[in-house]
Structure 1
Amino acid sequence: MAQNTPRVSSRIDSTQMRIGEQLRYQIEIEADSTALVVFPEGQTFTPLEMVEATDIDTFRNKDRFNLTRKYALTQFDSGHYTLPRQKIIINNKEFYTDSLQVTVSDIPVDTTSQKMYDIKPLAEVSNNYSGWGKILLWALIGLLVAGALVYWFFIRKKPLSDAEKEALLPPFDRALLGLKKLEESRYLIQSQYKEYYSELTNIVRAYLEEEIHISAMESTTEELVARLELLQQSGKLNLEKPTIDNFKNVLKKADLVKFARSRPETRAAEEDRKVIENVVVKTREAIPEPTEEELLQQEEYQAKLERKRRKKKRVLIGITAACLLLITTGGAVAYYGFYQVKDTVFGHPTRELLHGEWITSEYGYPIITLETPKVLRRAEVKLSNAMKKVISTNQTFVYGNFTGNFHVSASVTTLREGVEFRVEDAVQGAIATMEQQGAKNIIVKQDEFTTPSGKKGSKVYGNLDITTPDGETIKGEYIMLNFTEKGAFQQVIIVHKQDDRYAKDIENRIVNSIDFKTQ
């Protein structure tokens, strides 16, 4: 059995140090190879500050393990300090190391070789926005990139290609330009009559389809000519009959060239192009002036097209902005973490407390000093007749409540002369008060506690269930620090939700700020 019992030992390289130097504190555990061992974590060495903790060094000795972990500790105030016992959990059982006395010495200063100056007054320090600075910098870069992309693709006037410029021309100018290019082409020189007449008829058909709104591209020669004659007879197209006949002859000749492999003379082909050019000019002259109703319809159509273009531009800008927001958010989440970004954007009550402006105040008498995110307000505590016989004065200061996001209270109690005082009774009374305020299933753990300034007290802590006015049960944590300074009893109680990401940092900062006025 003795061999199976874990062995815990600790040692320190020196019990004396200078301000700012580091001590090496080592914990050694000999336990069974199947044992579950939990070493101290965090700032459990108060009043000394842990700078670094090494990885656990494991050495196997037959069926047992020797586990060693080293800690670097420091202190920046001179004095005599007690390094508290450290708790090690082995298979759910608690083991403690011995406490040690450490002396921190001042660094000698030669005051004869340098001048002495008065203490400088307090200076206002602006809030630290270094983290936000990076976010804003990347967001600004992203906005500039997105703005440049939006300008380049959607806002700036892009230079048009020759094909785009030609497509923007009116149908008449486009037809004349196409005929001019056909005249300068090499189709006739290379005896490519089929290609020549195909392009010639396509130019005039496309013009008629756009200008007088008839289905010319899909129509046969007879159908196209019939439609032109019908428009002429109805008075919608003032085109002379010889012009229609010349146009019909050219279309028939083109059909023979394209489908019967006819080979006309080059001079005749050039004359046919001139005939088609004349048809285009005469057709434009033959179109009646649009009525006022038609002009209104065209204006409405153009306005509709403009609205569509604007809507498309807005949609594209919205998509670009959404992509930018997604990229910026993803980068921030990858760099800072999801909850940090979420709480920064949407807010989190305890995060605002942690990163807000903290206040250091003095409460009660004998004075207890605390640094808190908000000033504690005086609360009236009704004392029963039995308590009035024991308590001389009670001063209680509170922020928040049990069912809120964060609760902290500080009380200073003085007793009447001749009254025997026990801290355990005061703790039980505080727990009873917590139960009256909605706390249930309170788990009580107790340990010794020493403030950074060396004031000793007791720490009661654990978990509890909090019942809200709506009947909801919330898992919470609490810590109760008890001191007896200058003949009075001082107590600080902190209660917060168990799963709160920022509450523990607030709690540690408040606890480390506790001090008492000696004068």
Structure 2
Amino acid sequence: MKIRLYLLFLLFTTFVFAQQKQVVTSIDTIKNKIGAEFKLSIKTTVDTSSKVIFPKLKNFGALEVIQSYPIDTVKMDGRYELVKKYGLTQFDSGRYVIPSIKIFINSKPFMTDSLLVEVANVKVDTLKQKMFDIKNIAPADNSIGNWWKYLLILALIIGIGAFIYWYIKKHQKKKLEEEIFKTPIEKATSLLNNLEKKELWQKGEVKAYYSELTDIARNYIEEAIEIPAMESTTSELIQGLKAASVKKKMTVSQETIENLERVLKQADLVKFAKSKPLDFEITEDRNKIQKAILTLDSSIPVEVPVEEDTLLNEAQRQKQIQIQLRKKRKKRIVLTISSIAFILVATTTFFIVLKGFDFVKDNIFGNASKELLEGEWIKSEYGNPGIIIETPKVLKRVDLTKTLPKDGMALIKEMQSFAYGTIQDNFYIMISTLKYKKEGEIDLAKSMDGALQSLESKGAKNMIVKQEDFETKEGIKGLKAYGTFSKINSATQSSTKLYYEALLFSQEGGLQQIIIFHEEGDDYANQISERVLSSVELKQLSK
């Protein structure tokens, strides 16, 4: 009996040990602030053919799931290590239990470990932390992705211009083709061939087919025999044709006139009475029209021109055609450019009326400060004592030791400076940190005077200085100077007015300095400056 109990206990502990090793539960921290994220990790190692199902939960006990991270998969020695992470949070202080949950591996349940976490209140010291009024609701930043709107407007303008060009070209080409036919019969024959290529009646457009077919016949009769065929009814046209054939001594058979009249009446029935001829009838009507036109053309008396006059007229005709082609091409280009210019002016005017001139200038023609503000910002630490700050661009190390007086450099043990832009630009950020050889209290007012004098030595003119105390969000106090100065462009001798802000913080044996200046009245630069200064975090001096 003792042996059996021992074996049973051994099997049970082996099973429990295997189950515990199958699923491993961990958390990144057991103490956190209200609203902060706990990252719960569940890890298991399985065969490559195993199927693992992690639960989709909105809550782990009293903790809320704010994010379910993708499963990390690592292949090791023919097996997979799967790690599933959940982001949890709680907005009330206290101690909370993360309960066990089921993980299914090949449809078999495995339980995770339960964990105890603590959520603490955030301490607020109203004596050190400044209190501010509640800000108004700010519109959401919709700058990301706006580029597609301008691309769409550009594509629309190009599309409209291309359509106008195509439309003008098509209609002028059609008109020009009508003008360059040598004789009415040549024009009528060409139009009949083009009509057949369109295959209108084969597509069910019988009315359009008969309308164009009879227009070709009427237009030929009007041009060749010189009677008002286009405005006449069928009966009026036939009567006018009979009278013209007698007057012009044309040898036209009665059959030709009857065939023409029959087709014209058939066309009237199709157009006005919705008649639907059969396919073979349509083909016969087309042949009758073509035969009638050819017969009429052959019956018109021909005047034989003098050969020299014929050659001269042909040369003049070709010359006129080339002149017309050049004129029409030039007119088409001018009209297209004018249309696009009108669309551009109308679109720009619309946006100016709707959004204002500054919006059009900044979004269509571009604004360097706006691009900085809406770009990807970088948060980094610079110098010693360290300054953690967020800037629109990475600040690059610069050497300012050569610009300082020798007696001042004799007191400095270490100096590090980082900047974006140059002193001659319209936007400039500079950070400097100093370690002095001797520790002691630093006079911020004198240090600020030295920093401003350095700006003046580099070209700042007519400097206006205002000073006030400054305090970071962590409650560290410093000195702020702000105002304006003028910068002279040495090439053009023009003057630009700039707005500057300078911050100084002191530590025992260390100094931290931030200077920003930009063109006065630049709203985007003002927003950059506010964002930069509100992000300032200071570190203690490291030995």
With the shorter chain as reference, the TM-score category is 0.5 to 0.7
Shift, 1:326, TM fit: 2.1
Instruction: List alignment gaps of at least 5 residues for structure 1.
Output: 1-17, 21-104, 117-126, 189-195, 205-276
- The corresponding residue for 2:324 is 305
Identity %: 29
Shift, 1:342, TM fit: 1.6
Cα distance in 2, alignment partners of residues 433 and 404 from structure 1: 16
Say whether the 8 Å CA contact 2:222–2:230 is kept in structure 1: no
Q: Deviations over 1:43-67 (max 9, x none)?
A: xxxxxxxxxxxxxxxxxxxxxxxxx
| RMSD (Å) for aligned C-alpha atoms | 4.4
Cα distance in 2, alignment partners of residues 514 and 180 from structure 1: 86
Q: 1:507 aligned to 2:525?
A: no
Q: 1:496 aligned to 2:481?
A: no
Residue type of the alignment partner of 1:294 = N
Cα distance in 2, alignment partners of residues 166 and 174 from structure 1: 11
Q: 1:185 aligned to 2:236?
A: yes
Q: 1:392 aligned to 2:410?
A: no
Cα distance in 1, alignment partners of residues 230 and 435 from structure 2: 111
- The change in CA–CA distance for 1:332 and 1:165 in structure 2 (over 3 A counts) is farther
Say whether the 8 Å CA contact 2:411–2:436 is kept in structure 1: yes
- The corresponding residue for 2:484 is 463
When you count helix as a share of all residues, which structure comes out higher?
2
Q: Deviations over 1:54-111 (max 9, x none)?
A: xxxxxxxxxxxxxxxxxxxxxxxxxxxxxxxxxxxxxxxxxxxxxxxxxxx9743765
Alignment of 1:134-213 (within 5 A): 134-141=149-156, 144=159, 155=170, 169=220, 173-175=224-226, 184-185=235-236
Q: 1:445 aligned to 2:466?
A: yes
- The change in CA–CA distance for 1:431 and 1:171 in structure 2 (over 3 A counts) is same
- The corresponding residue for 2:434 is 413
Shift, 1:497, TM fit: 1.5
Cα distance in 2, alignment partners of residues 285 and 187 from structure 1: 25
Say whether the 8 Å CA contact 1:371–1:510 is kept in structure 2: yes
Q: 1:330 aligned to 2:349?
A: yes
Runs of 4+ in 1 over 6 A off after TM superposition: 156-164, 179-183
Cα distance in 2, alignment partners of residues 365 and 179 from structure 1: 95
After TM superposition, the structure 1 stretch with the greater mean CA deviation from structure 2, 347-356 or 438-447, is 347-356
Cα distance in 1, alignment partners of residues 230 and 442 from structure 2: 115
Shift, 1:183, TM fit: 10
Say whether the 8 Å CA contact 2:215–2:230 is kept in structure 1: no
Q: 1:482 aligned to 2:504?
A: yes
- Partner SS state of residue 473, structure 2: coil
- The change in CA–CA distance for 1:497 and 1:294 in structure 2 (over 3 A counts) is same
- Partner SS state of residue 300, structure 2: helix
Cα distance in 1, alignment partners of residues 219 and 398 from structure 2: 80
Q: Deviations over 1:224-263 (max 9, x none)?
A: xxxxxxxxxxxxxxxxxxxxxxxxxxxxxxxxxxxxxxxx
Residue type of the alignment partner of 2:236 = S
- Partner SS state of residue 372, structure 2: helix
Cα distance in 1, alignment partners of residues 528 and 230 from structure 2: 84
Shift, 1:334, TM fit: 3.8
Say whether the 8 Å CA contact 2:445–2:479 is kept in structure 1: no
Residue type of the alignment partner of 2:483 = G
- The change in CA–CA distance for 1:334 and 1:131 in structure 2 (over 3 A counts) is farther
- The change in CA–CA distance for 1:154 and 1:462 in structure 2 (over 3 A counts) is same
Shift, 1:394, TM fit: 1.6
Q: Deviations over 1:326-368 (max 9, x none)?
A: 2322333344432232233333332333233333332211221
Residue type of the alignment partner of 1:331 = F
Residue type of the alignment partner of 2:470 = F
- The corresponding residue for 1:381 is 401
Residue type of the alignment partner of 2:360 = V
- The corresponding residue for 1:401 is 422
| Equivalent in 280, 304, 308 of residue 286 of structure 1 | 304
Shift, 1:412, TM fit: 0.3
- The change in CA–CA distance for 1:286 and 1:389 in structure 2 (over 3 A counts) is closer
Shift, 1:423, TM fit: 0.7
- The change in CA–CA distance for 1:337 and 1:109 in structure 2 (over 3 A counts) is farther
- The corresponding residue for 1:133 is 148
Say whether the 8 Å CA contact 2:379–2:390 is kept in structure 1: yes
Say whether the 8 Å CA contact 2:486–2:496 is kept in structure 1: yes
- The change in CA–CA distance for 1:19 and 1:337 in structure 2 (over 3 A counts) is farther
Say whether the 8 Å CA contact 2:381–2:387 is kept in structure 1: yes
Given the two structures, how large is their TM-score scaled by the length of structure 2?
0.50
- The corresponding residue for 1:81 is none
Say whether the 8 Å CA contact 1:407–1:495 is kept in structure 2: yes
Shift, 1:179, TM fit: 12
* Count of aligned residue pairs for this structure pair: 327
Say whether the 8 Å CA contact 2:229–2:237 is kept in structure 1: no
Alignment of 1:101-140 (within 5 A): 107-108=92-93, 111-113=96-98, 129-140=144-155
Shift, 1:436, TM fit: 0.7
- The corresponding residue for 1:435 is 456
- Partner SS state of residue 523, structure 2: coil
Shift, 1:419, TM fit: 4.8
| Equivalent in 382, 385, 404 of residue 363 of structure 1 | 382
Shift, 1:481, TM fit: 0.7
Instruction: List alignment gaps of at least 5 residues for structure 2.
Output: 1-33, 37-89, 100-113, 116-141, 176-207, 249-295
- The change in CA–CA distance for 1:515 and 1:294 in structure 2 (over 3 A counts) is same
- Partner SS state of residue 513, structure 2: strand
Shift, 1:433, TM fit: 0.8
| Equivalent in 310, 321, 334 of residue 340 of structure 2 | 321
- The change in CA–CA distance for 1:182 and 1:465 in structure 2 (over 3 A counts) is closer
Say whether the 8 Å CA contact 1:366–1:486 is kept in structure 2: no
After TM superposition, the structure 1 stretch with the greater mean CA deviation from structure 2, 476-485 or 138-147, is 138-147
- The change in CA–CA distance for 1:181 and 1:346 in structure 2 (over 3 A counts) is closer
- The corresponding residue for 1:235 is none
- Partner SS state of residue 366, structure 1: coil
Residue type of the alignment partner of 1:388 = M
Cα distance in 1, alignment partners of residues 231 and 503 from structure 2: 99
Cα distance in 2, alignment partners of residues 299 and 137 from structure 1: 45
Cα distance in 1, alignment partners of residues 326 and 94 from structure 2: 81
